[in-house]
């Protein structure tokens, strides 16, 4: 879809060593945050964005997990990209991603069991998150390890930003709190304020993402007529 | 009239190009076209201009809604005083309801038109008349006890996400008023279901009568349909429910106005009834014989009277924007609304009123229905060629 800009093959001949944070690399890192956001522009990874954003804390943990997986899967695949036979590349990618997801899953189970229970199956489902496979196919298979890792980190971050943003709205309006800490004072409830039950339901995430896309496209002229 | 015309004309330059209030031109335009027939003429090509423009269409619907509004106001008072066992005059009943319903109507109009106005100024287009109907429909499909800030929130939600985001009046694919109700239904379920249909503000010196129950017919319907109020009460509307939907009689007056003026499609209204009766009769046939109180045994014509089916079929399903447009499509669309309503009512106690959800569902499917009808027509024409 909108990934053509980043897939232009890396120049095969490179006369001199590129700086670690050259202009191009910074662009690789920054693009997924806004201009090429995996959720609002590429419209990938929506299922988990709907499912884990009821509260901020699980959303944040989920975002960190995805950042870890995208960064290292991009890095690993990029490092072995020349040895992967083209016909079985999807399987190889899956194995790498599955390994990383298992690490995240086991880590959460060991150190944050309550969050792990809340995220439930969605940690395991990071494997099927289209963002990861999309970045592997579109970027890591054709780029050097360092830009690939940056790209993975950027995409994970872009995903995480939206996730946390949606979760802030949903937790605040749905339960009147943030990170489980009550923000709406008791007198508001006494005067007839009621938590919005729709915000706890998955469609609310869709509304919020929709409004965000609306706002983003009215602000960022580059995105007009990109679908 | 002359004085008003002169006043408007003298103000006009200020709102025109280069005037002091150029930004507020949409507001002025709305006022002017509200007061006078617009002086637009066709600039090129041959067009037929009918007097039946959007403004008049919308106004006809508002007129058709007035019987339900007046009856609703009276019924709010009637239910209130009945719960306290008080005998009061017709006027007292009406005035009690008037003071309860008017704030809801005013808030709905003020907030919704405010959003429309904001968008008209920001986007520089005209204020459209679509909200005239939506603003009156929203109060009529809400319970009278709803807090006003929830009405405001739902009005914002439906105007913003139901209409403006898709391009304003005529671009919405769902009925905005129903969307407002669905929003409230899912956002604040405690205020949209249960014991909320009668205004129980205390009456000094009177206590609630023992026989009072906050349950509507739809609750009895799931438990034992034989406990429902009498058929005549359901027809005339002496029952609890949302403000405007109780009286089938008042709705029939509205339906007559809509059909006679050609604003509402009689095909959709008839098709809704056909679908509802058909599904009702079918369920009667397959109802379990050993459970005589099962809702599937409800006589099919009861479905026409209980809940807000009549209101939905006459005022909501016929919305010319979100309904199917092809003639055959209208029949399919209506029949499916009727059938789904009965299915939701009978088999899903969690959503006792299926009309709202089935109309919204069919709003979503209307373009597909139209597409299939057109494709089929093309195919039959090709075969003949």
Q: Which residue has the tokens 């007061």?
A: B35
B165, B186, B188 member nearest A201 (Cβ)? B186
Kindly tell me if the per-residue pLDDT of B271 is higher than 90. Answer: yes
The larger pLDDT score, comparing residue A117 to residue B34, is at A117
Interface of B with A in 97-156 (CB under 8 A): 147, 149-150
Size of chain A in residues: 227
What residue ranges do the domains of chain A occupy? 38-219
Whether A223 contacts A217, CB under 8 Å: yes
What gap in Å lies between CA A173 and CA A207, rounded to an integer?
13
On whether both B353 and B290 belong to a single domain, the answer is yes
Which B positions 261-280 lie with beta carbon below 8 A of chain A? Answer: none
Which residue numbers in chain A have pLDDT < 70? 1-18, 225-227
Range of the domain at B31: 2-35
Do B23 and B75 sit in the same domain of this protein?
no
Contact A198 B186 (CB under 8 A): yes
Per-residue pLDDT reduced to its tens digit, A133-145: 888 888 888 888 8
Closest by CA position to A104, among listed A84, A91, A119: A119
Residues B150 and B75 placed together within one structural domain of the fold: yes
* Mean pLDDT of chain B, nearest integer: 84
Residues in Cβ contact with B75 at an 8 Å cutoff, skipping those fewer than 6 apart: B97, B237, B238, B243, B246, B247
Yes or no, beta carbons of A194 and B190 under 8 Å apart: yes
Residue contact B186–A210, C-beta within 8 A = no
Please report the number of interchain residue pairs, chain A to chain B, with beta-carbon separation below 8 angstroms: 24
Residues B67 and B170 in one domain: yes
What are the pLDDT digits (tens) for A16-36? Answer: 666 777 788 888 888 888 888
Are B111 and B176 members of one domain?
A: yes
Pull the structure tokens for residue B347.
């088999």
As a whole number of Å, the CA-based R_g of chain A is 19
One domain for residues B12 and B67? no
Residue B222 lies in a domain: no
pLDDT digit string, tens, across residues A57-87: 888 988 999 999 999 999 999 998 888 888 8
- Chain B positions in Cβ-Cβ contact with residue A192 (cut-off 8 Å): 147, 149
**Residue of chain A minimizing CA distance to B160:** A211
Burial of A187 (0-12, 13-18, 19+ CB in 10 A): exposed
Contact B187 A214 (CB under 8 A): no
Query: What pLDDT, on the 0 to 100 scale, is given for residue B9?
Result: 78
Closest approach of B99 to chain A, Cα-based (Å): 20
Residue A34: per-residue pLDDT: 80
pLDDT digits (tens, 9 = 90+) for B108-145: 999 998 888 888 887 777 777 778 888 999 999 999 88
Query: Has residue B382 got a pLDDT over 80?
Result: yes
* Interface test with chain A among B154, B167, B186, B188, by most A beta carbons within 10 Å: B186
Tell me how far apart the alpha carbons of residues B377 and B375 are, in angstroms, rounded to a whole number: 5
Is there a domain that residue B226 lies in?
A: no
ipTM above 0.95, yes or no: no
Flag whether B235 is in a domain: no
To the nearest whole Å, the CA of A210 is away from the closest chain B CA by 9
Residue of chain B with shortest Cα separation from A173:
B187
Q: Both tokens of residue A43?
A: 């419209």
Identify the pLDDT of residue B109.
Answer: 92
Phi, psi of B66 (to 5 degrees): -60, -40
Q: For B247-264, what is the mean pLDDT?
A: 90
Long-range contacts of B309-312 (CB under 8 A, 24+ apart): B309/B272, B309/B276, B309/B341, B309/B355, B310/B245, B310/B248, B310/B251, B310/B252, B311/B68, B311/B140, B311/B141, B311/B242, B311/B244, B311/B245, B311/B251, B311/B355, B312/B178, B312/B245, B312/B272, B312/B337, B312/B341, B312/B355, B312/B356, B312/B359
Q: How close, in Å, is residue A106 to chain B by CA atoms?
A: 36
Residues B30, B79, single domain; the answer is no
Interface of B with A in 174-203 (CB under 8 A): 183, 186-191
DSSP string, B154-184: HHHHHHHHHTGGGTSTT--SS-HHHHHHHHH
B8 lies in the same domain as B112: no
Q: Is B187 within 8 Å of A207 when comparing Cβ atoms? A: no
Q: Please indicate whether, in this complex, the C-beta atoms of A197 and B186 are within 8 angstroms of each other.
A: yes
Q: What pLDDT is stored for residue B82 in this prediction?
A: 85
Interface test with A, best of B157, B187, B188 (most A CBs within 10 A): B187
Q: Is the dihedral of CA A30, A32, A37, A42 positive or negative?
A: positive
All residues of chain A having their beta carbon less than 8 Å from the beta carbon of residue B189 are 197
pLDDT of residue A1: 44
Chain A residues whose beta carbon lies within 8 Å of the beta carbon of residue B151: none
Q: Do residues B367 and B173 lie in contact, with contact meaning Cβ atoms separated by under 8 Å?
A: yes
Reported residue count of chain B is 385
Task: Name every residue in A having a CB less than 8 A away from some CB of B.
Answer: 192, 194, 196-199, 201, 203, 207, 210-211, 214
Contact B184, B154 (CB under 8 A): yes
Co-location of B63 and B165 in the same domain: yes
Domain match, B58 and B203 both = yes
Residue with tokens 């009550």: A182
Phi/psi-derived region of residue A186, left when phi > 0, alpha when psi is between -120 and 50, beta in every other case: alpha
Mean pLDDT of B149-157: 91
Q: Hey, is B78 helix, strand or coil? A: helix
Q: How far is B148 from chain A (nearest CA, A)?
A: 10
pLDDT at A72: 92
Yes or no, beta carbons of B149 and A201 under 8 Å apart: no
Query: In this predicted structure, what is the pLDDT of residue A15?
Result: 57
CA distances from A48 to A114, A146, B331 (A): 18, 27, 40
* Amino acid A12: pLDDT: 56
How open is the CA angle B262-B266-B270, to the nearest 5 degrees? 170
Q: Count structural domains, chain B.
A: 3
CB within 8 Å: A192 and B149: yes
Does B304 lie in the same domain as B163? no
Tell me which range, A172-176, B242-246, B277-281, B350-354, is most confidently predicted by mean pLDDT. Answer: B277-281
Q: Please indicate, yes or no, whether residues B77 and B28 belong to a single structural domain of this protein.
A: no
Query: What gap in Å lies between CA B350 and CA B204, rounded to an integer?
Result: 36
Chain B residues close to A203, C-beta within 8 Å: 186
pLDDT at B366 > cutoff 90: yes
């Amino acid at each position: 879809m909108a990934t053509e800009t980043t897939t232009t093959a890396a120049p095969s001949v490179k006369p001199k060593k590129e700086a670690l944070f050259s202009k191009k690399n910074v662009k690789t890192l920054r693009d997924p945050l806004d201009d090429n956001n995996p959720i609002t522009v590429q419209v990938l990874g929506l299922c988990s964005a709907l499912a884990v954003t009821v509260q901020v804390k699980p959303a944040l943990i989920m975002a960190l997990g995805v950042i870890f997986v995208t960064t290292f899967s991009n890095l690993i695949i990029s490092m072995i990209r020349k040895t992967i036979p083209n016909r079985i590349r999807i399987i190889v990618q899956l194995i790498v991603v599955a390994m990383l997801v298992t690490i995240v899953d086991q880590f959460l189970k060991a150190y944050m069991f309550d969050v792990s229970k809340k995220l439930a199956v969605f940690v395991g489902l990071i494997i099927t998150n289209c963002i990861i496979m999309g970045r592997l196919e579109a970027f890591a298979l054709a780029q050097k390890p360092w830009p690939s890792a940056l790209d993975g980190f950027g995409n994970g971050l872009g995903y995480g930003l939206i996730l946390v943003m949606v979760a802030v709205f949903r937790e605040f309006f749905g339960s009147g709190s943030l990170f489980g800490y009550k923000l709406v004072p008791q007198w508001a409830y006494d005067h007839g304020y009621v938590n919005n039950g729709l915000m706890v339901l998955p469609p609310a995430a869709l509304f919020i993402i929709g409004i965000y896309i609306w706002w983003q496209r009215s602000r960022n002229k580059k995105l007009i007529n990109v679908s | 009239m002359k004085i008003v015309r002169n006043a408007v004309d003298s103000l006009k330059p200020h709102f025109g190009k280069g005037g002091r209030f150029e930004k507020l031109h949409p507001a002025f335009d709305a006022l002017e076209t509200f007061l006078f027939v617009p002086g637009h003429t066709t600039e090129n090509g041959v067009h037929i201009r009918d007097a039946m423009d959007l403004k008049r269409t919308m106004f006809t619907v508002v007129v058709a809604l007035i019987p339900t509004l007046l009856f609703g106001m009276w019924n709010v008072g009637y239910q209130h005083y009945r719960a306290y066992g008080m005998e009061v005059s017709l006027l007292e009943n009406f005035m009690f309801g008037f003071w309860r319903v008017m704030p809801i109507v005013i808030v709905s109009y003020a907030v919704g038109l405010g959003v429309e106005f904001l968008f008209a100024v920001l986007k520089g287009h005209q204020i459209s008349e679509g909200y005239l109907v939506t603003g009156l429909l929203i109060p009529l499909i809400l319970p009278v006890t709803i807090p006003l800030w929830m009405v405001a929130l739902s009005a914002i939600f439906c105007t913003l996400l139901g209409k403006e985001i898709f391009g304003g009046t005529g671009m919405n694919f769902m009925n905005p008023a129903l969307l407002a109700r669905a929003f409230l239904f899912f956002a604040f379920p405690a205020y949209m279901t249960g014991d909320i249909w009668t205004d129980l503000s205390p009456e000094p010196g009177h206590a609630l009568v023992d026989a009072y129950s906050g349950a509507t017919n739809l609750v009895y319907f799931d438990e034992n349909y034989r406990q429902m109020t009498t058929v005549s009460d359901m027809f005339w509307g002496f029952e609890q429910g949302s403000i405007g939907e109780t009286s089938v009689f008042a709705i029939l007056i509205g339906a007559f106005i809509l059909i006679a003026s050609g604003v509402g499609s009689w095909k959709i209204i008839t098709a809704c009834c056909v679908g509802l009766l058909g599904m009702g009769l079918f369920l009667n046939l397959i109802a379990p014989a050993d459970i005589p109180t099962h809702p599937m045994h409800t006589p099919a014509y009861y479905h026409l009277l209980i809940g807000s089916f009549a209101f939905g079929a006459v005022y909501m399903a016929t919305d010319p924007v979100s309904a199917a447009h092809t003639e055959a499509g209208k029949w399919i669309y209506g029949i499916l609304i009727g059938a789904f309503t009965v299915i939701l009512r009978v088999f899903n106690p969690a959503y006792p009123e299926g009309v709202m959800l089935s109309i919204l569902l069919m709003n979503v499917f209307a373009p597909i229905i139209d597409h299939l009808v057109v494709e089929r027509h093309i195919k039959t024409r090709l075969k003949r060629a």
